[in-house]
Copies of this chain bind each other. A is one copy, B any other.
Amino acid sequence: MHSLLRWLFLVAFSLIFSTLFAQNIQWQEIYPGVWKGVAGKPDSYDLLKAADVTPAPALQKMAKADFPLNAQEIHFQLNSGKTYLRFPLERNEQLFGFGLNFQTIHQRGKILQLHADHYGKTDNGRTHAPTPFYVSSSGYGVFVNSAKYMDVYAGSHVRKDAREPAKVMDRNTDNNWEAHPYSDAVEMLIPAEGVEIYIFAGPKPLNAIQRFNLLSGGGCLPPRWGLGFTQRVHRLSTSEQVKQEAKAFEDKGFPLDFIGLEPGWQSKSYPCTFEWDKSRFPDPAKFVKEMDAMGIKINLWTNPYVSPDAAIYQKIKPYTGSHLVWNGIVPDLSMPEASKILFDQFEKEHVKIGVSGYKIDEVDGFDSYVWPDVATFPSGHTSEQIRQTYGLLVQKQSFEMFRRNNMRTYGLVRGSNAGGSSFPYVIYNDNYSHEDFITALINSGYAGVLWTPEVRASKTAEEWLRRFQTVCFSPMAMINAWSSSMEPWTFPEVAPQIKAVAELRMKMMPYWYSEFAKYHYEGIPPFRGMSLEEGFGIDIKKEKTTASLEDNPYAEAVTREVKDQYMAGEYLLVAPLFTGQTTRKVILPKGKWYDFYTGKFVGDGEVISITPGLDQIPVYVKDGGIIPMMPMKLHAPKSGEKVDLEIRHYGEKNSSYKLYDDDGNTFDYEKGMFAWREIKVEKQKNGSFKGSISKEESGKPNNIGAVTWRFMTP
């Protein structure tokens, strides 16, 4: 009795204490440079539980590091059923992340409610992937593992007890008056009795992102065909029409790897039956097989909302939520029972006949379509928790279904969240601003997700071409013209340029595939913002702006958002043009840079102005850049197909490149069936370069044919 009383007293005391006073968090280093802390009593269900992934092995091999923040300045406090968190913020930091934002890169000063939703033209925290992770320009990352709507004040407010409160001024008469003086904290409010927090060390911001991605299982590894082209066909297309579309691409010599079918392939949708419409697809198995013989995989549109006419309706009904979505019942996919019924049906109807992937629609939100926050679910998880994790759940469960069948997949999804980086899905939406697409592509690298700047339709040849150019330098080369019925060759005046850039995409497949392997094994995002590039923002020679924050060593990066150029893989800087633009500026980080097409030197740590013409998308290569390329093919190489390589080298530096290879289709790489080959380029005594490639390892895949070398810089 005595010890029970003492225990009760301790519990009550700790409860009262944590309610009345801000407390520090005990940090436990769970991997090198990764610390976990627990504030209060976290919910039993969270983002990592929904994603249910195993951290990637490379996480154990990351460099040792010190705790990157002053632990005394990280506080939590419980108040009225919510958890308050506070992280320190220095004057010279910039923050990146907080999910897939579409209009802004810099997050310092923002107020967000992280909330799974479609993108509603405002970066307010509502987005397809509201990842509660941020990375600081000072080289650390913070992840709050909660499946609740989380309020974030990213250095927007000043506390009464701030270390350096603003000087008192009179707004009426003092020109130096500021509405928003220096805020020394990122503050968050999580509607839960506690929460799990992860801190990631750098030293560089990219290292913190790597650790975050590796904790989430590493990045996804698409099948090789996933990096080829995809087109989507009209929702009422028949199997014959789909074949004709594939034939049209072949006839035009335009690359194509997979075709997506829109809702009409189902007997009824919305809500969905998940069963084939036999009037349009009389023999689905035969159709999928014939398409495969043409080198084309099939991707199926669906959402998870079940029609009363679906065969699985009665069986799944007990495991569905209280409200309808698109007039269908909503499987509670946090319950294994619901997941099994739904994905067993997918497996039987689609995967077993060779369907290679899905476009999983409407799992993100849009309040008036998805279930309301008043909905209840049989698992007992709240509507909010299910909404924050639904994208993760459909990805995880469909991914596992493909893994069971030892078939890799690469598909589309409208919703994701932290923990989902290893799922082979690319986020898309209904917005169609080319500028927003590029901002999102940049932000995807800070959020542990992939994003595609697809092409759908265009009013002018110029727009059609400009959009195609960026699609070819993105995670998925998607033509999504099911509604416009446009084709890559629709504008004859730009058809050759479009074909050229499409061919370039295909030729670069060894590079893209290796870069995705680095995403998978090392957690390095294949597409990412300039702030993660060494030498960016430091000592930019030209166009120096007056920094608005004093004593700021990252003047350019902090004061100016760079939303129109990005890094693609290890060596490439892509600087797209938008419709109407004929000239633009490109910020080259410190170090020498070369034109991708000509190999000529273009600048070093400076801002250049370019007028590149319509034909090509400006791409620059870092000094020492090595780009492995293959001959143009209409389809991605098949398993075991030998492929010749042309290995390009740019600039003046000796350098090396890790080339990845595996069968491109199965999960055998998880059993060690993959190979890294080291490419090296070294300057000879006579001043010329020489390249070499490491030997194949016995028992490992080797798909390399003849190798030629091309030293691009004269």
- Please list the residues of chain A having a beta carbon within 8 angstroms of any beta carbon in chain B: 77, 79-82, 84, 86, 109, 111, 151, 153, 156-162, 165-166, 168-173, 177, 179-181, 187-189, 191, 235-236, 263-264, 267-271, 307-309, 320-324, 326-327, 329, 367-369, 371-376, 382
Contact = CB atoms under 8 A, between A and B. Distances in A.
Contacts of A324: 157-160, 162, 165
Contacts of A162: 324
Contact of A326 (B156, B179, B270, B368): B179
Contacts of A160: 320-324, 329
Contacts of A79: 376, 382
24 contacts: A77-B376, A111-B368, A156-B368, A157-B371, A159-B322, A159-B323, A160-B322, A165-B327, A168-B271, A168-B327, A169-B268, A169-B327, A170-B269, A171-B269, A171-B270, A172-B235, A172-B263, A172-B269, A177-B270, A179-B326, A179-B369, A181-B327, A187-B372, A187-B374
Contacts of A191: 191
Interface centre among A172, A308, A368 (most CB of B within 10 A): A172
Contacts of A268: 168-170
A322 B189 contact: no
A462 B172 CA distance: 33
Main secondary structure on chain A at its contact with chain B? loop
Given A181-B327, A327-B181, A172 B371 contact: no
A135 B40 CA distance: 42
A326 B367 CA distance: 33
Contacts of A153: 372-374
Nearest to A171: B270
A374 B168 contact: no
Contacts of A374: 84, 86, 151, 153, 187-189
Contacts of A329: 160
Contacts of A236: 172-173
A270 to B, nearest CB: 5
Contact of A382 (B80, B156, B181): B80
Contacts of A326: 179
Given A169-B268, A179-B369, A189-B372, 10 more contacts: A84-B376, A111-B372, A160-B324, A171-B269, A171-B270, A172-B235, A172-B263, A177-B270, A189-B374, A191-B191
A379 to B, nearest CB: 12
Contacts of A171: 263, 269-270
Nearest to A262: B172
A309 B172 contact: no
A443 to B, nearest CB: 21
Contacts of A157: 323-324, 371-372, 375
A161 to B, nearest CB: 7
A260 to B, nearest CB: 15
A660 B324 CA distance: 54
A399 to B, nearest CB: 27
Contacts of A270: 171, 177
Question: Which 8 pairs between the two chains have the least Cβ-Cβ distance?
Answer: A187-B374, A170-B268, A153-B372, A172-B264, A111-B367, A158-B324, A189-B374, A157-B372
A308 B369 CA distance: 49
A321 B79 CA distance: 14
A326 B187 CA distance: 18
Contacts of A80: 382
A309 B174 CA distance: 15
A505 B371 CA distance: 50
A323 B183 CA distance: 11
A81 B81 contact: yes
A161 B322 contact: yes
Among A263, A268, A269, chain B packs the most CB atoms within 10 A around the CB of A268
B168 A309 contact: yes
B151 A373 contact: yes
Nearest to A385: B80
Nearest to A370: B157
Contacts of A188: 374
B271 A327 contact: no
Nearest to A309: B168
A98 B329 CA distance: 29
Nearest to A321: B160
Given A168-B307, A171-B263, A367-B111, A372 B156 contact: yes
Nearest to A124: B367
Nearest to A84: B374
A461 to B, nearest CB: 32
Nearest to A77: B376
A461 B263 CA distance: 55
Contacts of A172: 235-236, 263-264, 269
A323 B173 CA distance: 25
A162 B172 CA distance: 59
